[in-house]
Amino acid sequence: MSHNVTLDETIEVSRPLHEVFAYVSEFSRVQEWDPAVASAKKITSGAPGVGTEFQVDMRAGFSLQYLVEEFKANERMLMTVESRFFTACEEILFEATDEGTKLRYIAQFDFPAPLLALNKIYPSAMDRVGKTAMAGLKAALEDDFETPKESGWLAAADRLVLPGLWRFTKLGYRASRRGWKPVSAYQGNRHALITGATSGLGLAAARQLAELGARLTIVARDSAKAEQLVYELKDQTGNQDIHIQIADLSLMSDVHALADRLLAEGNAIDMLINNAGALFNPRQQTAEGFEKSFALLLLSPYLLTEALLPLLKMSTSPRIVNVLSGGMYTQKIDVDDLQSQHGEYSGSVAYAKAKRGLMILTEEWADRWDDIAVNAMHPGWADTPGVETSLPGFYRATKWLLRTPEEGADTIVWLAASTEAARVSGKFWLDRDQHPSHLSDRTLESQEERQRFLELLADLGESTRSGVQEGLRKSA
């Protein structure tokens, strides 16, 4: 014998029907709004539809297997649920109203009689759980969350080195994510341009943005790799609006040509994600004569971002996300040696100095461009092919502490997509928290150094544009 328990809850939100449907039908995001859920994932490929399966792991220690049985876009979805303890049928009905959208959630649980007899309070407990989840969904859809403020406590911990470094690990990620808010902002009408999406963090960010429904343009240097990746992303996410631009971003001729193509296409860019990167040991120069760390990590995002300004200005909520590194904390910009020509070369130092330069640009662009949210982030230490090949010793020693690429990429996507991140600019982030951009006065540049740095980059922008390759001489 079994016993039925029915939940029937309705909420109304002032969001368009298609936005509500897009958010709720990607049911793997239930973990954002139902506090009883520890994690959830879609285990089938493609966009949600009949046959889609989700696995939902509950905080109470058991899993639910969801199967979408019926699916009508912007109207209704019906899912059956299997678990160790009960089966259920959950129906979600969507309806446009004058103010927005009405959502009705009907769940019918089928408990075996012994389980019910053991716990007579089950129905009321279930009812409470259902009400809490629906309140969470309403808050998620209202999407009115505060932008995280600078925290003196976090800044102090960063300065104590060990607590700061602990934050970079997967343990830091897990501690931070507890307070995170849902991201329900609709991305179906937004366009993200992302560099370095064929691997590691860029790939994880591209996948997350594709799942959110954004149009994607992936900038890659290897067309075969890019085509394979786009094929997989389209298959996994069901998002067919994914495009490729080929450019070797360490070559300024390629960067200018890329920008020209994008400007000629004339599509607005809502999210520009400067992520491509590598660490070079020993010192290398590009065919154009630039030191490679400087070229790829600093001059390239500088030229690309400045050139794409007209397309960013076409967006209603433009964002620029610069992917930096905690290594930046150790270095000051060296305006007299931007390309590591003097003294003994260290790939890590050249890398960190270039990231420091991109942080200065982040602050400068934020000051200059009022309507664009320009932010920088640090992904923590993530297990990516880049870390494994460029820092093998570090990788072996810390592998057990590294985050997944998805965890490292979370803040990239949050800065690009969330409503609250649009309200802040010029800051440095880790795990959706603001962190100081300097841990010591030793790394602060003077106003005069900053000015000279900006002039050098502007000169290089001009000279590379006009085909005059005087990189080494001008920036030395």
The smaller minimum CB distance to ligand NAP, of residues 52 and 384, is found at 384
Using CA atoms, how far apart are residues 211 and 231, in angstroms rounded to an integer?
14
Q: Quick check: 352 binds ligand NAP (CB under 6 A)?
A: no
Q: Which of 28, 198, 208, 362 binds ligand NAP (CB under 6 A)?
A: 198
| Nearest residue to 91 via CA among 12, 2, 30, 7 | 7
Q: Quick check: 275 binds ligand NAP (CB under 6 A)?
A: yes
Instruction: Map residue 10 onto helix, strand or coil.
Output: strand
Using CA atoms, how far apart are residues 158 and 35, in angstroms rounded to an integer?
30
CA angle 191, 318, 453 (to 5 degrees): 115
Q: How far is the CB of 249 from ligand NAP (least distance, A)?
A: 4
The smaller minimum CB distance to ligand NAP, of residues 26 and 383, is found at 383
Residue with tokens 């989840």: 133
Q: Quick check: 318 binds ligand NAP (CB under 6 A)?
A: no
Q: Which of 269, 387, 439, 457 binds ligand NAP (CB under 6 A)?
A: 387
Q: Which residues pair with 220 in a beta bridge?
A: 246
Q: Quick check: 386 binds ligand NAP (CB under 6 A)?
A: yes
End-to-end Cα, the chain, rounded Å: 83
Mask: binding to ligand NAP, 223-262, rule CB under 6 A, as x and -?
Answer: --x----------------------xxx------------
Q: Quick check: 199 binds ligand NAP (CB under 6 A)?
A: yes
Q: Quick check: 465 binds ligand NAP (CB under 6 A)?
A: no
Q: Which residues pair with 243 in a beta bridge?
A: 217
Q: Which residue's CB atom is positioned nearest to ligand NAP?
A: 200
Residue 455, judged by CB atoms within 10 A of its CB (0-12, 13-18, 19+), counts as exposed
Q: Quick check: 382 binds ligand NAP (CB under 6 A)?
A: yes
Using CA atoms, how far apart are residues 60 and 414, in angstroms rounded to an integer?
28
Q: How far is the CB of 424 from ligand NAP (least distance, A)?
A: 21
Q: How far is the CB of 355 from ligand NAP (least distance, A)?
A: 7
Lookup: tokens for 433: 């928290």
Mask: binding to ligand NAP, 396-435, rule CB under 6 A, as x and -?
Answer: ------------x---------------------------
The smaller minimum CB distance to ligand NAP, of residues 238 and 277, is found at 277
Q: Quick check: 172 binds ligand NAP (CB under 6 A)?
A: no
For CA atoms 159, 406, 79, 100, the dihedral sign is positive
Residue 173 annotated as catalytic: no
Using CA atoms, how far apart are residues 390 and 396, in angstroms rounded to an integer?
12
Q: How far is the CB of 303 from ligand NAP (least distance, A)?
A: 13
Instruction: Map residue 387 onto helix, strand or coil.
Output: helix
Distance of CA 319 to the CA centre of its chain: 12
The smaller minimum CB distance to ligand NAP, of residues 133 and 387, is found at 387
Instruction: Map residue 251 onto helix, strand or coil.
Output: coil
Q: How far is the CB of 356 from ligand NAP (least distance, A)?
A: 12
* Residues at the site binding ligand NAP, with contacts judged by CB under 6 A: 196-202, 221-222, 225, 248-250, 275-278, 296, 323, 325, 379, 381-382, 384-387, 408
Residues annotated catalytic, as ranges: 351
